[in-house]
Structures are given as C-alpha cells and as structure tokens.
Chain A
Amino acid sequence: MGETEVRRVVVVGGGSAGWIAACRLAAQARRIGSGVQVTLVESRNVPTVGVGEGTWPTMRNTLAKIGITETDFIRSCDAAFKQGARFVGWTDGTAQDGYYHPLNPPAGATEIDLAPHWLHRAAETGSFADWVDYQAMLCDAGLGPKTIVMPEYAGHANYAYHLDAGKFAVLLREHGVGTLGIDHVLGDVVRPQMSDHGDIVHLELADGRTVAGDLFVDCTGFAARLIGGVYQVPFRRCGDVLFADRAMALQVPYEDEDSPITCHTVSTAQEAGWIWDIGLWTRRGVGHVYSSAHTSDDAAEAALRAYVGPAAKGLSARRITIDAGHRTRFWQNNCVAVGLSAGFIEPLEASALMLIEASMDAIADRLPRTRAAMDVMARQFNATFTHHWMRIIEFLKLHYVLTRRTDSDFWRDNVASSSIPDGLAERLELWRHHSPGPQDFDHAREVFSWPSYQYVLHGMGFDSRQPRIDAAAPDTALAQRFVTRMARAKDDLRTRAPRHRDLLRAIREHGLQRV
C-alpha cells in the first residue's frame, strides 16, 4: 500500500466546493504534468446549498491558478467587487454605530504599527479604519477597487468578490470539464468498497458503475457522506460560543438598472443575530442569521422583511439550518473533507469559500505522490485546519464580545464569560496593553492576521490602556509620513476611481486585459 502512487483523485459532490477542488487539482496536474486524473462524481438528486456569496481576496489567486480569466468570472457569475465589510449596530446599536473592516492592511503595515498613534490622537482623527487606510472612503463613496486599464486581478486597493454561487459552480464545471479534462460522472453514490486498511477503494453508484480512486475528496456538503457517513469522524459543535443556528435569505432586485452597487458587505446587527446585505451585478443578496434560542423563525423573517422594506414584498425566503462546528479530523485514511462536509459557521467573515481555497492550496499544491506520504500530509492538514477553525471561531466571537448592547438576551448572553473561548479571553487581556500584532499568534500563517483584529477592536472602541506616544520619538514622524502619504492616495482615488457599477459595466462590455 505504502508505495502505491496517487494517480486518481475522486471528488464527490458538485457544488462550489466540489468544483473548486476538482479544478484546482486538475489545473495543478496539468501545470506540473503529473498525469493525475481527476474525476468528479455528482448526484442529479442532491441540490447544492449555494451558500457563500462572499469571497476573500484569495479568490483572485485561486481563479488565476485554475485558469479562469477575471473577465469571464465577472461576466458569468454576476460578480461584483467587495472591499471589506461594514458592521452596523454591533457596538451599542445607536444610529451612528458602524465601522469598517477593509481588506487593505493599515498603511505601512510592514514597517510600523499605526494603532498606538491613532489611539493617541483618536479624538482628532476620526475612525481607525479611515485614519490608517483609504478603502473605507472608497466603500462610502461607492467607488471601485480598480480601473478598466488595470490588468486582470490587479487593483489600486485589495479586493474580493460577491458572486452568485450557483452560477459560479456552473462556470467551474464548464471550465473543469471543457478545458481541464475533469471526468464528470453523474450518479448517486450508494456505498464505498473499503480495503483491509480502511481506505476507500472505489465508490459504487446506484446504476452499478464503480468509480475507483487513490484519494477521495468529500465535498458532499452537510451530508458528509464519506468523512461522516463512512469514517464516522466526530463533529465538534461550537454553538456554545457562536449562537447563530438559522439563516434565511432573500434575493432582492435593484430598483433600476443603474442603482448603485455597494462595494462591501453590510452586516447589520439585529435583536437576535445580524443581517447580511451584498451587492451583485443583477441583484442584492440579503439574509438574516439568527439564534433560534433567542427568537422565532417568524420574528426573524419579519425583521428581514422590515430591513429590506417594500422590495421584499412577494419574495420568498430561503431557510438554511446552521449546525455550527467542524470535524475533529478532516483527513482520514485516503479521504479528505472540503467545504461544508468539513464544517460550517455563520458567514460573518465570509470564511466558507476561503476555507475551501485554503484546503485546496494544501491538497492540490502538495498532493502526496504515494499512499505512504498521505498519512504525513493528513496529520499536518488536520493540525493546521483544526487550528484554523479554532481561530476563525475566536475571531467571529470577537465581533460579539466587544458589544456594549444589552437590549436583548442574545447580546447579553454573548458577553457571558462562559461563552468566550479561553484563547480569545487571554488575548483580549493582552490587547488592553498593546494593539494586536503578528507576534500575538502561535502560527506564522493565520487566516485572520493582526490587521483584522485591529480593525474590529478599534472599530468597536475596545478599551485600551496603552501608554502614551512620545511625540518626539522617531516612530511618530514615521507614522505621520505614512498617514500623510495615505491621505494623498485617498484624495487621488476619490477623483480617479470609477463608480462601482460603471466599472463592472465596462468590464462586462470590454473585458480586462491580462497585462
């Protein structure tokens, strides 16, 4: 078994996760000429969940690796640009309560930490995000992160996307089958044939066919047919930390074809959860994430419809159950879970697609050549992604624990110390004395790095007792230089950056160039 070469990879499931996984594997096999054959098995009878309409900037790299042009992606998936998130009503629920978590890092992030300088001058400088970076201005003004003359996947600001998940899966399938040579098998998996060592040898389909493989990627969504159904890997729930267990979504048309398209996710706090609002080319996607222990489905739907207003009339809401948590292991024997089969939590920071991409970076770019190498890979993968899940849960919880809202049980329960992970509580105490920095984390590669923590902490007015800045210190002058340079860039972009919808229209009409 040990020296058996990994030549056949079978992806089970045809949603976003399945097709991203298959395309990454097939594109990498072509790039290095490994000869690995990728098969994707998809049931006609299992609808895809289609969650995850927001990406991280990592998606640009993923699409480029797969070989899909940004122009085709934007045209095919009704995609729009996303430059971060604005959290409304999370701190105290007052009318002026809102802050940005932009995708740009603070100015000079590799050379200086601007946070203590902002804290020193907070009274005169406005919000943290606006003082250290220009992207909040772009979002407020509805301006795009690039211009039509910039090459594919490049911008004057860091950016991600909002997309139609169903159309994205179709694009990936057409590219994967038509260009990358993925073998697409339509059929219902009935049972696996197992080896003596506990590996999956092949999958039996309902029509009697079999699909053999050396590695199986479980992208079967919440069903987790292989990692859960076959291997019975336990599921670790985190409902005691993150209370949201339901979501309902509406697809809201624009008032007219020239309506502005918001260039960031708007996340608005509610009595027992929060509402996402994202802009695509053709429509808005609006959804309410909530805790069923703190409100009823009917009340949640009423809150969602009240948020949307008259445009919600006649629209039917799609309901999703969230079993928040993740597998205790993701890779077992020759099976690795990617996507919802690995875990799921509320989409507060759009982590669903990012985790698929990160998983495939680890799997496709380091595909074990032999079965023996697979066990080492599996151990590393499990350790890495267990850590990632822990950190993601902590980071999402950060948005809740800093609230000063006391207007409902949901918000009161969220600050109960029993619901706060030990690691987060420990770091919060540390961050009372200095702003989050790269040395505050165990791993060099964190999914959420220190700027993200700074944007949330300082956006929510975290009570910090940092020492005063010496105005005469060299770093003070350096900080001022970065802030001044950033302010110039902000002024320039305010006049030069295109309106978001105009940019999308130009891309759809003319396309972007590769260089």
Chain B
Amino acid sequence: MTGITPLSPAAHRGLRYDRHAAGGTRRFARIGLSEIAVAAADMPLCLAKDGQTGRFNLIALMSLVEPANLFVFGGGFQATYVPRAVMLGGFRLDARGAAGLAVDPADPGLGEAGEPLFAQEQPTPLAHDIARALERLVADVEAAQALVDAWAAHGLIRPLRLSLSKADGGAHDLAGLYTVDEAAVQALPDADLIALHRADRLGPAAVLTASLAQVERLRQLHNARFAPALTGYSLD
C-alpha cells in the first residue's frame, strides 16, 4: 500500500495495464451490491471485518490455503465473472493523479505488458474508463455496505467456521469469516421481515448462504494446483 502514487506521465509514461494478469495474488475481494448474483456463480461469498472499523465487509473468497488466487492460472482469470475490485486492484481514485487515478505499481496487472495508460504524455481513453469504473465500484460497494449494515443491525450475522481436511492428515481453519444467520432470519418479527424484504435485503442474504457451496469449487481448484490435496471441508 505504501507504494501507491498519483498517476503521472513523468513517473508512469511506459506503464501498461494487463487485465488478464490482475488479481493473481488476491485471496479475496470486496464486492459491490450488483455483483452478488454474478460472483456467487463462481465464488463463496461471505463477510469479514474491516481491521480499522470492525464493520462487516462483503467479500468473495478466492483462496483457501495457499496465498494465491485459485482462479488465476493458465494466463488468465478462469471464472465466468471477475470481481471488479480484482480487475481494478492496481488503481485508486486520486484527484491529484492523471485521469483522477493513483496506481499501485506492485499490482501484477500493472507492468510492461498490456494496454498503455498514456499516449503522448496524455492519459489514454482506457485510463479514463478505469476512473469511471472505479467511481461506479465505490458506489456499488457502499450500497453493499448498507445491505450488510442492515443485516448487522438486525442481528442476522453469525461467525462461519470453515475447516479444511488435508490429505496429509492435517487440518486448516479459515478464521474471521462470517455469514448470514438463517435461523435469525427465520426468527425475525413479521414487521422486520416485511421491511427487510421490501428493501431487498433478504434476497441477497439467500444468495450469500447458497454461495457457500462454491467452497467445493475452491477445493477442486486447489487440488488441481497444490499439494497436499484437500480431502474435504466442513462449514459450521
């Protein structure tokens, strides 16, 4: 994070963006409200606390054991959907930078390959498109945050214990994950239930819990690339 600097032709004249290389080391990504349904087609969605605020963030899980994105191999992102935060992980909004951007040069999506961010000292249309996409993503993540805050305010979040069994006899527990508490949803007073339904807070909750089936997909992806294999998992 400390390497993030405003985008400038002086410092980043030759910098290029390779969308296929983006997110290779991302273990999870925050997602926006509009991404819930599409991301759930590939990834388990769950909640994790922000280290600075303690608030729950909505995330898509892309790793289990190894510090690698299990969807990134074979020269690209092997999923039907790539979370926007993964695609745009090398960029931040920064009014001081060219096209209103800052960049993290350490991100694998930025380097000498891919499409240029500058042409003749001026930001390319791509750079402007990225800035607009980032603005949409920020708004979308804020909308997701309002959804999650509503769940938290109604006591609808519970810890999620994800325990993985390894072929060598070991186990690996993923700590700090949370999910929607289905029992708490069912126990909601009628008035709260209707109000949440009308506000479209319950549909995404069902998608979230259903998406946990994608842990099996992550397990398969892990076993295709890493050893020891994961022989099973439990969710509690």
Contacts and interface: CB of A to CB of B under 8 A. Distances in A.
Contacts of A147: 54
A201 B152 CA distance: 46
Interface string B52-73: 1111100000000000000000
A369 interface: no
A129 B51 CA distance: 30
A149 B56 CA distance: 9
A513 B159 CA distance: 11
A512 B152 contact: no
A515 B53 contact: no
B158 A515 contact: yes
B162 to A, nearest CB: 15
Nearest to B50: A149
A68 to B, nearest CB: 15
B155 A514 contact: yes
Contacts of A514: 152, 155, 157
Contact of A148 (B53, B56, B158, B159): B53
A511 B153 CA distance: 11
A513 B152 contact: yes
B188 to A, nearest CB: 15
B49 interface: yes
Contacts of A506: 52-54
B37 to A, nearest CB: 25
B158 A513 contact: no
A19 B55 CA distance: 31
Interface in A464-515: 506-507, 509-515
Nearest to A150: B54
Nearest to B55: A510
A507 B54 CA distance: 9
Interface in A118-173: 147-150
B178 interface: yes
B157 A513 contact: yes
A474 to B, nearest CB: 28
Contacts, number: 36
Nearest to B53: A510
Interface string B156-179: 011100000000000000001010
A513 B153 CA distance: 9
A492 to B, nearest CB: 15
A146 to B, nearest CB: 10
A285 B143 CA distance: 43
A499 B59 CA distance: 28
Nearest to B155: A514
Contacts of A513: 49, 54-56, 152, 157
A150 B54 CA distance: 7
Given A510-B55, A513-B55, A513-B56, A149 B49 contact: yes
B54 A148 contact: yes
Interface in A290-325: none
A149 B177 CA distance: 11
Contacts of B54: 147-150, 506-507, 510-513
Contacts of B50: 149
Contacts of B158: 515
Interface string B139-155: 00000000000001001
A108 to B, nearest CB: 24
B39 to A, nearest CB: 23
A458 to B, nearest CB: 36
B155 to A, nearest CB: 6
A470 to B, nearest CB: 37
A515 B232 CA distance: 27
B209 to A, nearest CB: 16
Interface in B11-62: 49-56
A418 B52 CA distance: 56
B178 to A, nearest CB: 7
B150 to A, nearest CB: 13
B157 A149 contact: no
B52 A515 contact: no
B52 A148 contact: yes
A515 B148 CA distance: 14
A150 B152 CA distance: 14
B157 A515 contact: yes
B197 to A, nearest CB: 22
Given A148-B52, A150-B54, A513-B152, 12 more contacts: A147-B54, A149-B49, A149-B50, A506-B52, A506-B53, A506-B54, A509-B53, A511-B54, A512-B54, A513-B157, A515-B157, A515-B159
17 contacts: A148-B52, A148-B53, A149-B50, A149-B54, A150-B54, A506-B52, A506-B53, A507-B54, A512-B54, A513-B56, A513-B152, A514-B152, A514-B157, A515-B157, A515-B158, A515-B159, A515-B178
Interface of A: 147-150, 506-507, 509-515
